[in-house]
Structure 1
């Protein structure tokens, strides 16, 4: 069968992804390094994956359900287990308030959803549009998702997410509203990140995202980043400054957006509104978030989690190459990318 993969996917620069040293964790096929090979905590719930029963049992115990989607070889899953659940305060709070159910993003176990429909783990994950691991879906007593954590959150922000759902603050508003209120009260995470961020070649402010791109055929990447944000600082002052990322960024129109800014802007689909209202309509919950739009102003992909260089570079090329149009699972795209790099003698260090 003829492959549908374009040559572009095999021509990426690999300078940022050095081979791991001898003696590193479990080796996968083609010499890939598996830094995410780790068992889930013993206190996670052993479920028969009938979510109706799980929700009833959790409600009776005054708890809520968390669906934890993982995959083998996921370094961010390992980071969640080791760094987040390695903190006793987070483990205690999670055990007290939640039943955590692990689901393999590519698994074949039978899942019965809240409507009583039987499916498989991988189909269930696809239906829920799980693109990253770890992804954690927090459910209320009716089975509704009240908070979605796509990808890895650092321990401090992850603990705020636990507090938001455990305290049932979802009944009062969004997680972003909750976080903004804590920040205003001086109770949110304190950081020492750089005060401003600059992305070379970004479109001028205030943003006129349709007018400025009327003759462009390039995709648009909008970086939503707040001030005083350590993960934003790493993205701007490390990842975006790598030569390999600069090559990929040159294929995009670029824009910067502070989700708290009240300046009137023009959106990619020509609407006039406050930037903060646009961010709210897009449900921006994490900084930094990268949102990608096609030449017609339609959103086609986003990242909204902590990513190192490999995944950030992969997300950009996923859009620029057009692979998102025929490979709906971003993780499948990354898997092929890792294998291609390994065949060329460059095992990918996913956490560099």
Structure 2
């Protein structure tokens, strides 16, 4: 029976787009109103929760159940704000198997006691009344932490660390969070006076500087750090002077003209460019073509190296950025200059 169920589930995965679960499809080219793509790295689960817990435990991970419903603005915020931040994605992927469950869905679920039920009945049995609800399960399938509703990024990071670190055995999340006292993001964009200003016209002209575009969002502590610390350092200021610089809010509907001359909005351009994380730094040449991008958390030396990699034209002769970084570090070392990658 279990083998048959797995076969049927596998067939469903093959014939349904990986972005959409079977219950979300209304017909060719149509999805439910308010549907928001779940991250592609979520587990394609057979929804036997006991097996999911066992498999996660064998990989030194835990299970995170994400209960959602279409048209839920807070679910959209969780996916588009929190899961657009590299730190949160890395912590979630390294510590958890993330499984999405539709609050009103009819897919078959095998529960923690072996009972066969549906998504909506499973949610009801766990008293899920809000979306999003995140249930973090321990190695026995017990709830180590329940998150009702949307947590802003700094609190989401604390929740992930609390469960991944198995701190529930030492006390409540409330006490853990109070001790940690994480600083929230500023909630603002850091568009400096020297940047290109809206309405953005990013078209490249003959002889123009290369273009550096910061793709960011307001609730982004890493963006705060980038502008509040990294970019204020003198070597970074000098490196950035070789570029025209623009900042694009990935969720804004502000109009702009792209480097290759297309009229669109900031939000649509970010989607078209497949920007997954904030901050992302994208570099464009004088023809409007992308030459390089960074999408990970980088400290000052690597951010400066990325700018030099593009402004010097080194990307044309050295396709491996890490080789360029290592070569630069070696040269500085030979000159007696100490390189600390974490400063």
- With normalisation by structure 1, the TM-score equals 0.51
Q: CA deviation at 1:202?
A: 0.7
- The answer as to 2:185 corresponding to 1:193 is yes
Q: Which one scores higher on RCO, CA 8 angstroms, separation ≥ 6?
A: 1
Q: How do 1:295-334 residues align onto structure 2 when only pairs under 5 Å count?
A: 295-334=286-325
Q: CA deviation at 1:289?
A: 0.5
Residue by residue over 1:135-183, the C-alpha shift from the partner in whole angstroms, topping out at 9 and shown as x without a partner, is xxxxxxxxxxxxxxxxx943x44234468964269xxxxxxxxxxx89x
How many Å separate the matches in 2 of 1:227 and 1:235? 13
Seen in structure 2, the aligned counterparts of structure 1 residues 306 and 208 have a Cα distance that, compared at 3 Å, is same
Contact 1:225-1:288 at 8 Å conserved across structures: yes
Partner SS, residue 200 of structure 2: coil
Q: How do 1:162-201 residues align onto structure 2 when only pairs under 5 Å count?
A: 166-167=98-99, 186-190=150-154, 192-194=184-186, 195-201=188-194
Contact 1:62-1:97 at 8 Å conserved across structures: no
Seen in structure 2, the aligned counterparts of structure 1 residues 198 and 263 have a Cα distance that, compared at 3 Å, is closer
Higher Cα radius of gyration: 2
Seen in structure 2, the aligned counterparts of structure 1 residues 97 and 325 have a Cα distance that, compared at 3 Å, is farther
Q: How do 1:1-352 residues align onto structure 2 when only pairs under 5 Å count?
A: 95-96=60-61, 153-154=86-87, 156-161=88-93, 166-167=98-99, 186-190=150-154, 192-194=184-186, 195-210=188-203, 213-352=204-343
Seen in structure 2, the aligned counterparts of structure 1 residues 207 and 93 have a Cα distance that, compared at 3 Å, is farther
Q: CA deviation at 1:200?
A: 4.2
- With normalisation by structure 2, the TM-score equals 0.52
Moved over 6 A (4+): none
Residue 144 (structure 2) aligns with: none
Structure 2's unaligned 5+ residue stretches are: 1-49, 64-84, 102-131, 134-148, 155-182
How many Å separate the matches in 1 of 2:267 and 2:97? 24
Alpha-carbon RMSD: 3.0
How many Å separate the matches in 1 of 2:315 and 2:241? 19
Q: CA deviation at 1:317?
A: 0.2
How many Å separate the matches in 2 of 1:226 and 1:165? 26
Structure 1's unaligned 5+ residue stretches are: 1-60, 64-90, 99-151, 170-180
